[in-house]
Amino acid sequence: MRHLLATALMAFGLCLAGQAQAQNVGIATSNPGSLFHNIGTAVANAANESGLNATIQPATSPNQFIPFINSGGIEFGVANLQEVNYALEGKAWFDGQPNPNLRVVAMLMPLREAIFVRADSDIMSVADLKGKRMVDGYTAQNTILPQLDAIYSTAGLTRGDMTPVNVPSVVAGADAFMAGESDGFIFAHGAGKVREADAAVGGLRALPIDNPTDEVLAKAREHWPTAFFTTIKAGTTPGVLEDASYFAFPQVIFTHANAPDDVVYAMTKAIYEGKESMANTFKPFNLFDPAEVKGDPGVAEFHPGALKFFEENGLN
């Protein structure tokens, strides 16, 4: 009898474990073609392989879905750290409406960004963009305007030095460029839309930061506080024609304060252990360093479920 009872209890425990492993979670991302959509897809694949049942839910941009995550409408999201910090405190385009429930799950590889032009154009540097037709507006993706300001500032320019081509999002901006409506567009290195544009126009040039000094970085950080410069090797991603420095900043997977600890723990574990899976889905994850998942979150806090995983694995 005791043996039968033990067997029954074990079976019941395995059943509960299976239910926990099959937990359904959503990951909010930007639109298909965007870097955050690529990242979310890769993270979802790793999470599914680890036992979570994760699906991505695209929206135009993080400034649209961040408040939804704050309210607990979806479990996870992909964004850059600066925007999460702005949202948390209600700064910038969050217009004094704080989102106090946001919590960071894991730091990912940096988002590396550039302004792209045709490789056969006479635009060789950011300074050469003066007076050119450049994407602007970004009514559905507020995060882009200060990033443009930051990149322009490295050459002593402002958005006012350009002829604006108003678009709602980075994907729409790339489409405007491919349609010949603008001379350049801003996008993240490695995104699917950049590869599409590269093929559509017969080659791109990613405009580098020509003078990546501490003084120039300080100017960029006036517009985008988490910015830093990073070197990209020639030929490793479309548009990078020579070894050069580019604008970059941290990106994260985040959640809300009321997300269950065990679910966040499982997602953190999936990300920490899933580099190979994520890189197979989206090559820029080759730059991901699992040892750096617990970086500096700025004004944000990590979720307790993530902190538990970090502590158990010596990531202090």
What confidence score (pLDDT) does residue 19 get?
A: 41
What confidence score (pLDDT) does residue 256 get?
A: 98
Q: What count of residues does the chain have? A: 316
Does 140 lie in the same domain as 38? no
Provide the residue range defining the domain that includes 297.
23-109+250-312
Does 277 lie in the same domain as 150? no
Q: Give the sign of the dihedral formed by CA 257, CA 301, CA 75, CA 54.
A: negative
Q: How many domains does the chain have?
A: 2
Indicate whether 213 pLDDT > 80.
Answer: yes
Does 119 lie in the same domain as 86? no
Q: How confident is the model at residue 142 (pLDDT cuts 50, 70, 90)?
A: confident
Could you tell me if residue 11 is inside a domain?
no
Distance CA 21, CA 15 (A): 10
Q: How confident is the model at residue 22 (pLDDT cuts 50, 70, 90)?
A: low
Does 216 lie in the same domain as 150? yes
At position 189, the amino acid (one-letter code) is H
Give mean pLDDT, residues 114-135.
98
Lowest mean pLDDT among 5-19, 74-88, 104-118, 175-189: 5-19
Does 153 lie in the same domain as 271? no
| Residue 53, domain CATH | 3.40.190.10
Could you tell me if residue 243 is inside a domain?
yes
Could you tell me if residue 277 is inside a domain?
yes
Torsion (CA) 91, 92, 96, 101 in degrees, nearest 10: -50
Give mean pLDDT, residues 183-201.
95
Domain edge (last residue) among 234, 249, 264: 249
Does 255 lie in the same domain as 176? no
Q: Give the sign of the dihedral formed by CA 154, CA 30, CA 257, CA 111.
A: negative
Could you tell me if residue 8 is inside a domain?
no
Tens of pLDDT, residue by residue over 216-242, are 999 999 999 999 999 999 999 999 999
Does 126 lie in the same domain as 241? yes
Does 119 lie in the same domain as 242? yes
Give Cα 27 distance to the centre of its chain: 12
